[in-house]
Each structure stands twice: as structure tokens, then as C-alpha cells.
Structure 1
Amino acid sequence: MESQVPPLNTGSSVVSVQELIKETMDAVPERYVRRDQEPQILSDKGSTETPVVPVIDFGKLSSDPIAGDQELQKLHEACKDSGFFQLVNHGIGHSLLEDLRHEIEEFFKLPLSEKEKFGRRSGEFEGYGSVPRSEEELDWGDRFLMTVNPVAKRNPRLFPRLPMSLRNTLDSYIKETQKLAMWLLHLISKCLDIEMNKMKEIFEDGFQILRMTYYPPCPQPELVVGLTPHSDATGITILHQINGVDGFQIKKDGVWIPIHILPHALVVNVGDTMEILTNGLYNSIEHRATVNSIKERMSIAMFFNPKLDSEIGPIQSLMTKESPALFRRIKMEKYVSDFSSHKLDGKSYLEKMKL
């Protein structure tokens, strides 16, 4: 999810990095320069390390009782130790993913005048454009973010007004990821040894947001950041790297590590809400997006949250005398509202939730 901040006075209703790179530039404009960003970890030879990351085979989880138990343990360990994993054999067809890639590419190719119709408006967190992190700072990326569930909460000027082919493809993808998310949450209940319908109870027909992001190439990629370092406010996030260009990084043991995403794999990461629900047993992962000088990168993320009218806090059965509640309880609607008005800054918002 994204933070709400005052819009920049740019003279245009939408700030677009895509439009900016059409201009000839010798240097990145100052408002995009992020000197506060830590470098990624490098090997002794100076080449980027590709660490071993958890890869979960969803096919085994859902169809093979023996191998499934081993995958379930891997899932549990990934949520505890890494806070994220790559999911393969997830059941979302390659043809749908290919259609999705094509439709999203076509959307970002539209003239700015067309995309401006979906522009983010002052005081709203939804819509199209580049989101300022403060009055002075911008990330090097354009995004289109919108509420997709509950359907009644959809902004009438966004999803319903999209080109029909994009809308239909997104609708199919949303339904597939919703099914996948509920299966994963069911399996997480099993991992945690809690009442099997507990996660379903919390998340079914919950508050869900979709974000499509376009990161243009940058002449000085070392000076910018595509997406500010943060942990998601969600229960879980499902990310698809649309065009196969890497840029996703996680923070582990205090350093930034680049992740190579496998072809057709989905990245699933634990969010702050899941850390709260599990009373700290599972860890939300701090992550960011970087850019390069040659190729644009595109991604689509689905953010899965509990129902807005629910209350979140540590699940009762995961608290003991030895492990009392680490987080306070809060209404989900207030939690989302507070997060949306909070500047992205690592896991700082989760810290505010601690008792």
C-alpha cells in the first residue's frame, strides 16, 4: 500500500517519469535524487550476489501429501525467517500472465492525456501517477493503484473506466490471485497450528488493493529509487514481475540484497498485519524497487488485508504467559487510514503498533 502526501505543484495534474525521460537530460532532476539510499550488497568480485531464496512449489502443497508436508514446513520457515518466498506451479496460467503483460504494456503506452483521466487526486491514495514521498522527493516510477475489493469500494472513475480488454484481463487475474491467496492463508493456518478457518474468517472478502507499476530506465540509476524501502501493511502481498526485468530487493541482516525472480514465479511477502496477527512469529520483510539504465521494469502487486470492519491484533491462541501480546489491537479501517497518511520509512509504522 502507499502513503498519502501533499501533491507537488508541477503545473500538471499528473507527475509522470515516463514523460520526463522523453526529454534530453544530462542529469537526473534533483527531486528524484535519493542520497539517503543504502547500496546493495556486492560480492568481492564486484558482481551482484544472487542469494539462495525460498522457493515453494504450490503444486506439491496442494496435491502431494508426502512432499506437501515438506513444502508446508518450507513455507513456515520462509514466513518466519525470510518474510518472503517465490511461488512456482501456482496454477495461474501462462496465457493469462502473457495477456496481462500485453494489456499493462499497452496501458502504459497510452498518451499522457489518456492516463491523466485516471490521475491521482489531492487527498486520495488511488489513481495513476508518480507518488511524491515528500514535498521534495519523488520515486523513479509511475504507478496505478486502486481498490479492487470489496467491489462496492471500487472508485467509479478508475477500474470501471479502464479499456475493456485491460479490465477483463485484470478481472480474471484478480479472481485467480484471490483464490490463490485464500489457499495460502489456509495453509498458513495449518503451519501455525491454529483453527483452520481462522485466517479465512479474517481475510475472506477483505480489503484488497491492486498496483500496476512502470519503472522507466534511468540515466543515473544509482542516484534514484524505484520504490522507497518499506514493509507492506498487508497480511500477504502477491507480486508478479510482468516483463522479467529484475529490480526487487529485500533487506536482510541490515544489507540490501537483489532477488532474481524465476520465470513465471510469483513473489509472496509477509506484511505487517501478518506479523501482528502471528504476534511476531512471522516477519514482514522490508523491500524496495531499483531501476536500471537500459530497460524498463513493470510489475503488478495484489495486497490482501482483513475486512475493514474487523479488528486486528495477535491471535489469541498464539499468545502465552511466556509470549504475551507484542502489538495493540486496532480497527482495520483506522489501521489502513493511519498507514496511508504515514510516510513510507522501513518498518516504522509497525513499530508504532507495538505495546
Structure 2
Amino acid sequence: MVSNGDPAVEKSEFIQEIIRRNPSCIPERYLRREEDKAKDVDMTALAADIPVFDLTLLSNGNKEELQKLDNACKDWDFFQVTNHGIAAEVLQGTKKATADFFNLPIQENTKYSFHPEFKTGYGQPFPVAEDEILDWSDSLLLLLYPPQNRCPELWPATPPESMLGAVEAYSDEIRKVTEELFGCLSLTMGLEKDALLGLHGELTTVMRMNYYPLCSKPDQVLGLTAHTDIGTLAILMQDDDVTGLQIRHNGGWVPAKPLPNSLVVNIGDILEIWSNGKYKSIEHRAVTMEIEPLEDILATQKCGRKYKKVKYGDYLKGAIQRRQQGKEHILKFKI
């Protein structure tokens, strides 16, 4: 077992080790409760309706596309983008490097076990209570930006020919995409194009690579418990041939079918607060910064302030100190 330093909170074993020991055995703490499974509503029929955008059109200020983006952020809180400018070779190189790392012997991977102080490493980054169901996954978490926050000595050095170079190439490109998206979303929110990027001060980027191994009882486990993302935006690169991501929409779960070389974008909690609820973080299975609804947004709404002011460091600390459960962590700050 891996401890996070708190004797009252214990993390799971590495999934990789459980599979190696006995592929057909699923420890009880990973099995979903029957009452939780009974609440699932399959909305596969809506999968084709998930919004898809050409980032080139959005970046060029196409008014029709921007209006569609605004509608997507209000109705779905989630969308996919194509023509984002990241070469297919960079995307595929990152996927290969990730797979190469997770295919290493467990003795290699555990050299980079999650470090709670530096928020970097391999395993499961969030602490869990004794009665919580565990995720059927392991993660590798790396801090990318700002560069001075990186801990390169904690980054995997094996296999060096693929992981480090691939991550560097991907991080540079995804930063550009992030800045373009912030510019587009600033416009759809009625702000100046550089407003959202300016609110961040120094943009912080975290890269999380998830490992979801095959399971002998796939309907009995979840790779990642339903949650919202605690930042501003989450940008996801999916495997091209695996539909594993599901998003909550109209009370059910819609599978997000991967589009080749596309990126998935989730609205995060911080953008929900800044927009005063116009856009909402989607549930899917620290210079100190204070966040609150933006005055320019409040001026265009008649509903009044819906969220309290909170220091982002406090918000982030609270969310990380306990495992994310749906939208519970953001609801605490609603007025």
C-alpha cells in the first residue's frame, strides 16, 4: 500500500500490480455498489449530438462558430475541437510514450510514485476515505507550466528516448491550444479576447496520463469516478479506438466517441464561477488567486451573484484533500 502521509487516509495498490498478481480477481473496494449502478441512465443515442468545432474558424473570429461555441458551453459544457494545429505525429508520439511507461515492470514505475508535496508522480493522486469505492486506474501526473514548478528529477527517466521528448513536444503545443481556447471563450462571454488568459496571471498546466487496464468484470468498476475538473479548462486526448469517456447530460451518461486527432474540452469549476453559472463544469464519470463571478458577467445577467469569493489556493487545497465526488466541492461555494 502507498501512504500519502496521513495515517487516517490510505491509497490503493497500483492497478498494474493487482492485474499482474491475478487478472481475474477484483478486490472488493473496486466494485461499484448496486444502488449506484441502478442510477445509470444510458444516453448513447445523443453521442452524435456532442458539439465539434474547427479551432481555426473559432480563432479567426467566425461569428457563427463563436455563437455555436457559446451555445455548446451553455447546453453541453463540453465539446471537441479539430484543426487545432497539433501535428498527428505529436499526438501519437505522446500516446506511445504513455503506453510505453505503463507497460514497464511495476518495479520501474514505482520509482516514480506520487509525491504529495510536489503533486507529481505515478499512482492515484487523490486520497480516499476507507469506505470509498476505488477507481480501476493508475495515473502519472506531471506539472508542466510554469517551468519553475516542474520537478524533472521526479519525471520518469525510463524510457528516456520517448517519454521526456514526447511530453515536451506535446506540452508546448497544448499550451498554444489552451491560449487560443481562452481567447475564444473570452469573446463568447462578452469580454476582451485576452481577458481570461490575463486572469490567470501565469498559466498553470498539469498533465495527467491515465492507465485503464482491462477488467474481467468491466460493468462492476469505474476507471474514474464521476467528477468535475477543478481548474478552468481540461483538454483531453483520447485513444482513437476506445470510447471510455462518458459525460453527464440531461440526467444520463453520453459516451464521447473519439474523433481521430481531435481534442476533448471540458468546462472546469473555475470557469463556472467566473461566468457566474452561465457555463457549468461538466460532471464526467498557487499564486494565491481569488475567484468569483466577473463583474462584466454580472452586469449582463439579471440573476445576481451565485458564487462566493474564494481564494483559488484554498479551493484547490480543499478539493485535493478529499476525493472529488461529483460537483460537491464547487456546490459549497454557491450562494
| TM over 0.5, shorter chain | yes
Letter of the 1:74 partner, please give it. K
Q: Does residue 353 in structure 1 map to residue 333 in structure 2?
A: yes
Are the counterparts in 1 of residues 288 and 313 from structure 2 also a CA contact under 8 Å?
A: yes
- Distance apart, 1:113 and its partner CA: 1.2
Q: Answer whether contact 2:136 2:223 (CA < 8 A) is retained.
A: yes
Residue by residue over 1:257-299, the C-alpha shift from the partner in whole angstroms, topping out at 9 and shown as x without a partner, is: 22212111110010010000000000110001xxxxxxxxxxx
**How big is each residue's C-alpha offset from its partner over 1:238-258, in whole Å with a ceiling of 9 and x where there is no partner?**
000135311100111221222
Q: Distance in 2 between matches of 1:249 and 1:232?
A: 14
Partner of 1:135: 130
In structure 2, how many angstroms separate the alpha carbons of the residues matched to 1:190 and 1:92?
23
What is the CA–CA distance in structure 2 between the aligned matches of 1:155 and 1:71, rounded to whole Å? 39
Asked if 1:310 is matched to 2:289, the reply is yes
In structure 1, C-alpha distance between the alignment counterparts of 2:258 and 2:36, rounded to whole Å: 22
Q: CA deviation at 1:205?
A: 2.6
Whether contact under 8 Å (2:247, 2:255) holds in the other structure is yes
1:331 and 2:294 correspond: no
Supply the distance in 2 between the matched residues of 1:24 and 1:159 (Cα, whole angstroms). 29
Partner residue, 1:101: 95
Q: Structure 1 residues 62, 125: CA separation in 2 closer, same or farther (over 3 Å shift)?
A: closer
How far apart are the structure 2 equivalents of 1:16 and 1:55?
35
Q: Please state how far the C-alpha of 1:37 moved relative to its aligned partner.
A: 3.4
Distance 1:161 1:352 in 2: 40
Match of 2:79, SS state, is strand
| Equivalent residue in structure 2 for 1:154, among 146, 150, 153 | 150
Aligned residues: 324
Aligned runs of 1:46-85 on 2, under 5 Å? 50-63=47-60, 68-85=62-79
Instruction: Give the counterpart of 1:285 among 271, 282, 297.
Output: 282
1:120 corresponds to which letter in structure 2? F
Q: CA deviation at 1:325?
A: 1.6
Partner Cα distance (2:278, 2:113) in 1: 39
Shift of 1:117: 1.1
Aligned pair partner of 1:275 in 254, 268, 272: 272
Shift of 1:9: 7.3
Q: TM-score, normalised by structure 1?
A: 0.84
Instruction: Check the 8 A contact 2:112/2:156 in 1, yes or no.
Output: no
Which sections of structure 2, spanning at least 5 residues, go unmatched? none
Q: Tell me what 1:115 maps to.
A: 109
Q: 1:102 to 1:160 in 2, by over 3 A?
A: closer
Deviation at 1:57, TM superposition (A): 1.1
Q: CA deviation at 1:127?
A: 1.7
Decide whether aligned partners of structure 1 residues 107 and 249 sit closer, same or farther in structure 2, where only a CA change above 3 A counts: same
Superposed CA deviations along residues 201-256 of structure 1, whole A, max 9, x for unmatched, are 11353222110001001000111010010011111100001353111001112212
For 2:10, the equivalent position in structure 1 comes to 8
Say if 2:196 is the partner of 1:199: yes
Partners in 2 of 1:153 and 1:52 — Cα distance?
Answer: 39
Gapped regions of structure 1 (runs ≥ 5): 289-306
- Determine helix, strand or coil for the equivalent of 1:120: coil
On the 8 A contact 1:140/1:225 being kept in 2, the answer is yes
Contact 2:77 2:280 in 1 (8 A): yes
CA shift at 1:111, angstroms?
Answer: 1.2
Cα shift readout 1:73-117 (whole Å, capped 9, x = no counterpart): 111111111010011111110011111121111111111111111
Aligned Cα RMSD in Å?
Answer: 2.4
**CA 1:40–1:150: 2 relative to 1, 3 Å:** same
**C-alpha displacement of 1:121:** 4.2
Judging by fraction of residues, say which structure has more strand.
1
What is the distance in 2 between the residues matched to 1:335 and 1:55? 31
Q: Are residue 168 (structure 1) and residue 165 (structure 2) matched?
A: yes
Which sits farther off after the overlay, 145-154 or 22-31? 22-31
CA distance in structure 2 between the aligned counterparts of 1:33 and 1:156, rounded to whole angstroms? 36
**Cα distance between partner residues in 1 of 2:45 and 2:22:** 30
| 1:255 maps onto 2:249 in alignment | no
Q: Distance in 2 between matches of 1:125 and 1:135?
A: 22
Secondary structure in 1 aligned to 2:74?
Answer: helix
Q: Which residue of 2 aligns with 1:291?
A: none
In structure 1, C-alpha distance between the alignment counterparts of 2:22 and 2:197, rounded to whole Å: 52
How much has 1:34 moved relative to structure 2?
A: 1.5
- Give 2:128's aligned amino acid: R
Moved more, 316-325 or 279-288: 316-325
